[in-house]
Amino acid sequence: MLGRYIGKWFYDKEIPFDAANSPYFLPIVNAIQRVRPAVKPPTAYELSGPILDEEVEEVRKWIEEYKQSWPRTGITLMSDGWLNKVSKKEFVNFLAYSSKDSGGGGR
């Protein structure tokens, strides 16, 4: 039954199916399986506000760690754009490549 609810959420919000392969997906499913009825899910405000702010700060710190190696290792900035022919949505990706070994598990 949980799969049906998760599926409906994926379909309703156009979440890419590959999101189920995220290393963060199984831990959230495990957490859902452990919670008690009194636990409430985060609101859209919490997801778009304080929770998002915490994630942004974590990424900001991670980027700063990489920036420190750029004078020594160099950096290549890249961009790529494409149009999804089914949904007619345009995408632009910006990437920064550095040879620094992340040790961060593929973030």
User: CA–CA separation, 58 vs 43, rounded Å?
Assistant: 21
Q: What is the mean pLDDT of residues 10-32?
A: 89
Report, as an integer, the average pLDDT of 68-94: 89
At 46, the amino acid letter reads E
- In tens, the pLDDT along 32-65 reads 888 876 777 777 888 888 988 998 999 999 889 8
Residue 23: its pLDDT value, please?
A: 93
CA dist 43 and 27 (Å) reads 19
> Is 78 among the domain residues?
no
Name the residue range of residue 53's domain: 2-70
Domain contains 101? no
75 is a domain residue: no
DSSP letter at 18 equals G
Strands (E), 19-104: 76-83, 90-97
Residue 106 has pLDDT above 50, yes or no: no
- Looking at the domain assignment, is residue 38 inside a domain? yes
**DSSP labels, 12-42:** HTT--GGGGGSTTHHHHHHHHHH--TT--PP
- Within a domain: 81: no
The total number of structural domains in the chain stands at 1
In a domain, 104, yes or no: no
In this predicted structure, what is the pLDDT of residue 101? 60
Q: What six digits make up the tokens of 61?
A: 């710190």
pLDDT at position 34: 85
Average pLDDT, the chain: 84
Residue 91 belongs to some domain of the structure: no
SS3 10: helix
